[in-house]
Amino acid sequence: MSEYKPVSASHTTLTELMIPSYSNFGGKIHGGIILGLMDKVAYVCAAKHSDGYCITASIDVVDFLAPVEVGELVSLMASVNYVGTTSMIIGIRVISENLKTQVKKHTNTSYFTMVAIGDDHKPKQVPGLILKSQDDIRRFSQGLNRKELKKAYKKEEAEIKEDYDVTACQKTLQHERCKIDLPATSSATTT
Ligand SMILES: CC(C)(COP(=O)(O)OP(=O)(O)OC[C@H]1O[C@@H](n2cnc3c(N)ncnc32)[C@H](O)[C@@H]1OP(=O)(O)O)[C@@H](O)C(=O)NCCC(=O)NCCS
């Protein structure tokens, strides 16, 4: 396995025609189909970089920016943005093209964290990344920020869970669109 690899060594594009069986009740392409393709392209990109089997550890927010129509050609471009020790952040950009008009629209962007797994079924070290452009440097640095923000968020979430106070929480919900309807005999429990 090489110690360092350039981003170009694992850049992957997956193109798929949106057929009628992929549509939802509203006639647009089901979000789950796009998510499935994103997972596939993230896997191929991560497996190319790490020369082996990978698993999806986490998926960042996926905003559906525009609907995808039946008959459009969807292209998913994936590249390794950041590598840690055993994890890789794969940036994915999804474009949908109307084949009649050639109009293209950007429908999704997301970041998948993939972890390389060795023969012992444990996370294994991945090659470092050779950054050859300003964009490579920006993406690597943003990936590092994303990883740190996630760590901080997880820590904060664990603290909130620890200090969870149902009575205080009920007060904050007073002006929300919910009704608290606990059974008379039960006391509130935390999860
Ligand atoms: C992902 C997984 C292997 C991590 O295992 P672990 O014992 O927590 O291993 P570690 O703590 O050493 O973490 C390994 C790497 O994953 C990263 N990681 C783990 N969980 C993560 C998460 N939720 N989000 C982002 N990164 C994560 C760690 O930061 C670490 O990165 P680094 O080595 O580059 O610093 C484990 O949680 C797992 O098997 N999850 C289930 C995955 C799965 O079933 N996916 C769906 C089907 S493919």
pLDDT tens-digit readout, 109-121? 999 999 999 999 9
Q: What percent of the chain has pLDDT over 90?
A: 85
Instruction: Say if residue 190's pLDDT is above 80.
Output: no
In a domain, 158, yes or no: no
Quick one: tokens of 47?
């497996």
Mutate to test the pocket of ligand 1, among 87, 124, 154 (most ligand atoms within 8 A of CB): 87
In a domain, 149, yes or no: no
Say if ligand 1 is within 6 A of residue 59 CB.
no
Mean pLDDT of 144-162: 91
Say if ligand 1 is within 6 A of residue 84 CB.
yes
In a domain, 13, yes or no: yes
Q: Contact 106/95 with Cβ under 8 angstroms?
A: yes
In a domain, 57, yes or no: yes
Say if ligand 1 is within 6 A of residue 57 CB.
yes
Task: Give Cα separations from 112 to 44, 93, 167 (angstroms).
Answer: 12, 11, 37
Amino acid 189: pLDDT: 53
Amino acid 186: pLDDT: 56
Would you call 117 helix, strand, or coil by DSSP?
strand
In a domain, 147, yes or no: no
Say if ligand 1 is within 6 A of residue 113 CB.
yes
Max mean pLDDT range (128-137, 146-155, 157-166): 128-137
Q: How far is the CA of 105 from the centre of ligand 1 (A)?
A: 33
Nearest-5° Cα angle at 89, 79 to 128: 80
In a domain, 28, yes or no: yes
**Closest alpha carbon to 57 in 123, 143, 153:** 123
In a domain, 20, yes or no: yes
Say if ligand 1 is within 6 A of residue 55 CB.
yes
Which residues form the domain of 17? 4-131
In a domain, 114, yes or no: yes
Say if ligand 1 is within 6 A of residue 67 CB.
no
Mutate to test the pocket of ligand 1, among 115, 120, 147, 150 (most ligand atoms within 8 A of CB): 115
Q: How far is CA 104 from the centre of its chain?
A: 22
Mean pLDDT of 121-145: 98
Element (H, E) at 157: helix 134-162
The CATH number that applies at residue 53 is 3.10.129.10
Of all protein residues, the one whose alpha carbon is nearest to atom 45 of ligand 1 is 56
How many domains is the chain partitioned into structurally? Answer: 1
